[in-house]
Chain A
Amino acid sequence: MMDLFHRAVMASSRLHPGRETVSAFVYLAPALILFAVFTFWPFLRAVQLSFFLVDRNTFEPALWFGFGYYLRAFNLGETALGDDWIRSIATTFQFTLMVVPFTLASALALALLAVSKVKGIGVFRTIYTSSLAISLASAGVIWSLIYSPNLKIFETILTDARTALPAVALMTVWTNLGFSFILLLAGLQAIPKDLWESAKIDGAGSWRTFWHLTLPLVSPTLLFLLITGTIGCFQAFTQFKVLIDSVGPDQSTNVLVYALFTAFWAENNYGFASALSVILFGLLLLLSLAQYRLDTRVHYQ
């Protein structure tokens, strides 16, 4: 072992840094090319298109429109056409607030239940994980029939402006549950046994143990789920397309990506669609920054 280490040190000093750079980029080339073609270029192109009226036939920028589309999205200035898109952004936030906390809470409850080592627990764990294998499209089809007026269970749930968004949120929570559960379970299982036991010996009540021991120890997992869940909600589209397939009753389910889809797909307003996609990027960037600050606090508290 020492011999190998010695040789390694020798080797590193003799290695030619330039040659390593060349071979590094050979290995990196496929990823770099793919990212350039399918991520960076399209993103820059979207930014460019967002400042133009875009020709519907050629998809080329045709007339300079400045910040017109951005102003329209926020219902400002001469290009304003109403508060539809401000409402879209607000609806997206609302949807996130409905889905993420509810998912985390119910997944944590399930994980606390399933962490106990009793006979047959494996079956329960598998059941709780099952929704991980179910796509949003499949879940959408299943729930569209659960919500169907003909079944008389939830007759008007998708057609009432007060219940439509919560209904989609509930379906999303169910679909997200498996993923959140399995990570939280793993997080709970990673807590060393003696910590639980010493807490027991100290006579800490189960509520106290939860607040002061369990929760802090799974908080990195919770934070990760908070981040991925929030990003997922901001990008939510499939469930709205399958369940609602319109702006919803009183536009109550017109989330940002659905509005983006409409502008792109149904209205062929490519400039505006691009502006909305850049706004989505901006919102996610802001959220990431906020969560990065939260992250440093959780880790260094």
Chain B
Amino acid sequence: MKKALLYLFLTLAALAVLFPLLFSLSLALQGETVSPRILPDFTRLDFTVFAQVFAKEPLMGRWIFNSWVVSISVTAGVLLVSVLAAYPLALFRFRGQTFVLFLFLSTLMIPWESTILPNYLTIALWGWKDSYQALIVPFLASGFGIFLLRQAFKTVPAELHEAAVMEGCGRSRFLWAILVPLTKPALATLGIWAFLNTWNQYYWPLLVIDNPVWRTTQVGITAFRSTEIASYNLPMAATLIVLAPTVLVLFAGQKQLVEGLTAGAVKG
């Protein structure tokens, strides 16, 4: 009895959480209609809508490609820059260490929105508008990433590092051959975090992209919203197409992300 009640609650909660997604799927499959319903007519589901999205907006494929290029590049870049910066912060002792730590900490305090105007001007002056680098380079250094990895690297005893260096194992070999393999979970966490964050970016691509060819999916799908009043199926299908990759990344890396986030962010 108690168990049945639990399942009832679990199911109700699941329906509540899933409602917007199920609803968008329902709208997507109803075809073009002036009066859409909550549930579609299951005998007349229109699966061609996903193909229609690409026909109506020939650039859709390009937008998805752009999002992948940008998200993968930022993820790789953030990992690289964070690994490099976290290494000395965690395992070296050097002059100005506290100051550098403070500098990095202060980047967490400056909201991105406070720097957006001058950053926009920088990108414009460099002639980077309508380019991948405009969407990638400003996001390569992440204070959060550096602190997450510093935390992970610190679990390796400094003595081990020093001994290895003395033994003639170069610093860079230690970093790539020992430290990085040892801290894979933290790196995976950071990678997923960076990927999702970049994939979901909206404000910045809206500003620095003038030519639709360079748009990313997030800005692209909002274009579907405004075109026709009566057609709900296309925007919903477009949204679902855009959602698919992140949902897959999440389900593939869910365990990793949870472990890393809890270890890095909450306890750190």
A residues with a Cβ closer than 8 A to B are: 4-5, 7-12, 14-15, 17, 20-21, 23-25, 27-28, 30-32, 34-35, 37-43, 45-46, 49, 59, 109-110, 113-114, 116, 118, 121, 124, 126-146, 148, 150-151, 174, 177, 182-183, 185-187, 190, 220-221, 224, 231, 234-235, 237-238, 241-242, 257, 260-261, 264-265, 270, 273-274, 277-278, 280-281, 284-285, 288
Choice from A27, A113, A143, A277 contacting B9 with Cβ under 8 Å:
A113
* B222 on interface, CB distance cutoff 8 Å: yes
Residues of chain B within 8 A of A277, CB atoms compared: 111, 113-117
Question: Which of chain B's residues 100-121 have a Cβ closer than 8 Å to chain A?
Answer: 100, 103-104, 107, 109-119, 121
Assembled-state Cα–Cα distance A141/B225 (Å): 7
Q: Could you tell me if B27 and A28 are in contact, using CB atoms closer than 8 angstroms?
A: no
Q: Could you tell me if B247 and A39 are in contact, using CB atoms closer than 8 angstroms?
A: no
Chain B min CB distance to A31 (Å): 4
Q: Give the residue name and chain of the A residue nearest to B108 (CB).
A: A288
Residues of chain A within 8 A of B85, CB atoms compared: 27-28, 30-32
Q: Could you tell me if B162 and A21 are in contact, using CB atoms closer than 8 angstroms?
A: no
The interface size of chain B toward A, counting residues with CB under 8 Å, comes to 100
Q: Could you tell me if A42 and B113 are in contact, using CB atoms closer than 8 angstroms?
A: no
Chain B residues touching A, majority SS? helix
Assembled-state Cα–Cα distance A257/B113 (Å): 7
Closest 5 CB pairs of A and B: A8-B159, A135-B200, A34-B141, A42-B118, A11-B166
Residues of chain A within 8 A of B100, CB atoms compared: 28, 32
Residues of chain B within 8 A of A281, CB atoms compared: 109-111, 114
Q: Could you tell me if B6 and A129 are in contact, using CB atoms closer than 8 angstroms?
A: no
Assembled-state Cα–Cα distance A257/B207 (Å): 14
Q: List 11 additional contacts besides A8-B163, A42-B122; criterion CB under 8 Å.
A: A30-B81, A31-B81, A42-B116, A130-B21, A133-B196, A134-B246, A139-B20, A150-B230, A241-B202, A257-B113, A281-B110
Assembled-state Cα–Cα distance A180/B20 (Å): 18
Contacts known (A46-B114, A224-B265, A281-B110); A174 close to B20, Cβ less than 8 A:
yes
Q: Give the residue name and chain of the B residue nearest to A139 (CB).
A: B20
Choice from A28, A177, A274 contacting B117 with Cβ under 8 Å:
A274
Q: Could you tell me if A23 and B236 are in contact, using CB atoms closer than 8 angstroms?
A: no
Chain B min CB distance to A300 (Å): 16
Q: Could you tell me if A27 and B87 are in contact, using CB atoms closer than 8 angstroms?
A: yes
Q: Could you tell me if A280 and B111 are in contact, using CB atoms closer than 8 angstroms?
A: yes
Q: Could you tell me if B84 and A264 are in contact, using CB atoms closer than 8 angstroms?
A: no
Question: Which of chain B's residues 101-154 have a Cβ closer than 8 Å to chain A?
Answer: 103-104, 107, 109-119, 121-122, 137-138, 140-141, 143, 146
Name 23 interchain pairs, CB-CB below 8 A, sorted by A.
Answer: A15-B162, A15-B166, A21-B94, A30-B141, A34-B137, A35-B103, A35-B107, A43-B114, A113-B6, A121-B10, A130-B18, A135-B199, A135-B202, A141-B221, A141-B238, A144-B225, A145-B27, A145-B225, A187-B262, A238-B203, A242-B202, A242-B222, A264-B116
Residues of chain A within 8 A of B89, CB atoms compared: 28
* B93 on interface, CB distance cutoff 8 Å: yes
**Residue of B23, B117, B235 most packed against chain A (CB within 10 A):** B117
Q: Could you tell me if B114 and A135 are in contact, using CB atoms closer than 8 angstroms?
A: no
Assembled-state Cα–Cα distance A141/B118 (Å): 29
Q: Could you tell me if B6 and A118 are in contact, using CB atoms closer than 8 angstroms?
A: yes
Q: Could you tell me if A27 and B84 are in contact, using CB atoms closer than 8 angstroms?
A: yes
Chain B min CB distance to A10 (Å): 8
Q: Could you tell me if A42 and B119 are in contact, using CB atoms closer than 8 angstroms?
A: yes
Q: Could you tell me if B115 and A38 are in contact, using CB atoms closer than 8 angstroms?
A: yes
Assembled-state Cα–Cα distance A95/B115 (Å): 23
Assembled-state Cα–Cα distance A220/B137 (Å): 34
Q: Give the residue name and chain of the A residue nearest to B166 (CB).
A: A11
